[in-house]
Structure 1
Amino acid sequence: NTSDVSRAQAHSHAHWVQDLHMDKNGWTDTGYHFLVSRGGWITEGRHQSLSTLRGGRDFVMGAHTSGQNGAGIGIANEGAYHDGAQPPRAQWEVLVALCAYTCGQYGIAPSRIYGHKDFGDTLCPGVLHDKLPQLRSEVAASMG
């Protein structure tokens, strides 16, 4: 995992993911709606995701989880969390805030926050999957 928590790194990572998804997978854009960097920066993944989130009614169809793209918002966290690594505090706090805002805008109950692992055979999101109950709880508390 990178120790660079700068805004420039967040943008570099977002472009790397976009290139990977477009060049390797042949997609038209990044599969995720948003990416949260280790430094706590949010970048828009899929084009128009931010404007539709602000509108709170519709959302751009993602390409993040097979069978779930029409039913959810894809948020990726920068970093590898398969070896027990934990997300930096800044990343976690921004993830909670983004999830709370997203849930509020779309009327999603925090109990409906899931990880890739819930829908397929994958390591993603690593140990972050074990933190989903905490994420749901903190998102619910943030929403009041």
Structure 2
Amino acid sequence: MEPLDRRTLLRMLAATGAAVGAGALGTAPAFGTEQAAPTISSCATWGARAATESITVLNSRPTKILVHHTDTPNSTDYSQAHAFSLSRSIQDHHIDDNHWIDTGQHFTNSRGGYVTEGRHQSLAALRDGHKMVRAAHCPGQNDIAIGIENEGNYMSTQPPAKLYSSLVSLCAYICTQYDIKPTAIYGHRDYYNTDCPGDVLYKMLPQLRKDVAAKL
């Protein structure tokens, strides 16, 4: 028999937990439950253009998460409409200026805490839990790492609470779906010569790992 992955094990535990230890010892201990899926707006929802070439869906799981910042102005428009506009702007830049086939990252997190799908089919692959989309967010990592862009520039500024909270929830869900340990959350600069995700956000990554672990 093949060993169970963490996501399958959690499902089994959640289904049987009520029956465990329900006798003389009283309430069963909490083993944890599968993370509820956060709200992620699909490419169709925010009005994405079609990719210029076919998207490559890999029959393998990513092994890590890479945190980025968009290096765009720290907008005070925290609305969903703004998040959708940001996603369209990023896709236009990546296709028209970078000459990529689509948005480079898998997911985008706005300063208002709204998460959108980046590259087409990333959301379906995440929900499947055993596939990932080949992306373009970091050389050498695009087949093995989920890329999350966080709106803004965090070289000297703290991210808004809504953005950070949304990032924790998204990372926790990704970790659950793909059986990734929270210790495997990294910054873009860990694998590429860049300031991304900004000095402040990068220094927050140890706390992010702890908060994701606590949520799990």
**TM-score, length-normalised on structure 1?**
0.97
Aligned partner (choices 154, 162, 171) of residue 81 of structure 1 = 154
For the aligned residue pairs, the C-alpha RMSD in angstroms reads: 0.6
What do the CA deviations read for 1:83-136 (whole angstroms, capped 9, x no partner)? x11111111000000000001100000000011110111010002110000000
Pick from 16, 30, 37 the counterpart of residue 89 of structure 2.
16
Choose 1 or 2 for highest CA Rg: 2
**Paired letter, 2:180:** I
2:180 pairs with 1:108: yes
Question: SS state of the match for residue 145, structure 2?
Answer: coil
Instruction: Tell me the SS of whatever aligns to 1:134.
Output: helix
Query: Which whole-Å deviations, capped at 9, do the CAs of 1:45-83 have from their partners, x for residues lacking one?
Result: 00011111000000111100110111110000000111x
- Structure 1 vs Structure 2: percent identity of aligned residues? 55
TM-score normalised over the length of structure 2:
0.65
Q: 2:207 aligns with which of 108, 127, 134?
A: 134
Return 5+ residue gaps in structure 1 as ranges: none
Which protein is richer in strand relative to its size? Answer: 2
Flag as ranges the 4+ runs of structure 1 deviating above 2 A.
none
- Partners of 2:117 and 2:81 in 1: how far apart? 14
Alignment match, 2:77: 4
Structure 2 partner of 1:92: 164
Counterparts of 1:28-107 in structure 2 under 5 Å?
28-82=101-155, 84-107=156-179
5+ residue gaps, structure 2: 1-73
Aligned equivalent of 1:121:
193
